[in-house]
Amino acid sequence: MNILVWGAPGAGKTSLAKILGIPDRFHGDEPLAHLVHAGHGADIALVVFDVTVPAQIQAARSQLAARQAGIPRVIAAANKMDLAGYEYDVFKAARSVFLRGWHDAPPAFVPVSARFGDLIVRAGDRIDWYNGPTLKQILHGEGAYSATQTGSVPVSAAFSIPA
């Protein structure tokens, strides 16, 4: 499975990619045309964003690049939950801002902390309000959401989190 990791500089995508064993081929501020060209043939675009920084522009860029490259699946990793005190309200607000730049059915979202490895490979106990699959489970088609399904799956259909 060919997985691309996209994210703005400082979003933590390099750390996250290293934990997952995925090559980090982008520095974060490439021209859109470069993302589209490099994305051809990819199965999944993993978009890593920092929950402490508004990400609607990153969301719009990622969606456009994925659509133009023909990438069928986009997964959003809401990183740096540790800096946000693992608060659900921060995740919810960051997801809402991210989705302002999104114009299709939303991608699956996973709140993570690359710094401590929370919800990347193992669940851990810091993000106790989230009961969905880890990022690795989603990427490898395990858990409630399978990365091999076609079309986008709304967050509410993938797993339940508090409103």
Q: Which residues contact 27 (CB under 8 A, 6 or more apart)?
A: 9
pLDDT at 143: 56
Query: Which residues does residue 109 pair with via DSSP β-bridges, in sequence order?
Result: 76
Output the CATH code of domain 3-158.
Answer: 3.40.50.300
Residue 69 pLDDT class (50, 70, 90 cuts): very high
In tens, the pLDDT along 4-14 reads 999 888 899 99
pLDDT of residue 160: 36
Q: What residues does each domain of the chain span?
A: 3-158
pLDDT at 98 over 80: yes
When pLDDT is averaged across residues 72-78 and rounded to a whole number, the result is: 93
pLDDT at 151: 33
The C-alpha angle 114, 119, 54, rounded to 5 degrees, equals 55
Distance of CA 145 to the CA centre of its chain: 14
The amino acid at residue 92 is: K
CA distance 136 to 51: 19
Q: Please state, rounded to an integer, the average pLDDT across all residues of the chain.
A: 84
Which amino acid, one-letter code, is at 115? R
A 10 A CB-CB count for 42 gives 18
In the predicted structure, residue 145 carries a pLDDT above the cut 80? no
CA-based diameter of the chain, in Å? 40
d(CA 100, CA 90): 16
Q: What is the pLDDT of residue 83?
A: 96
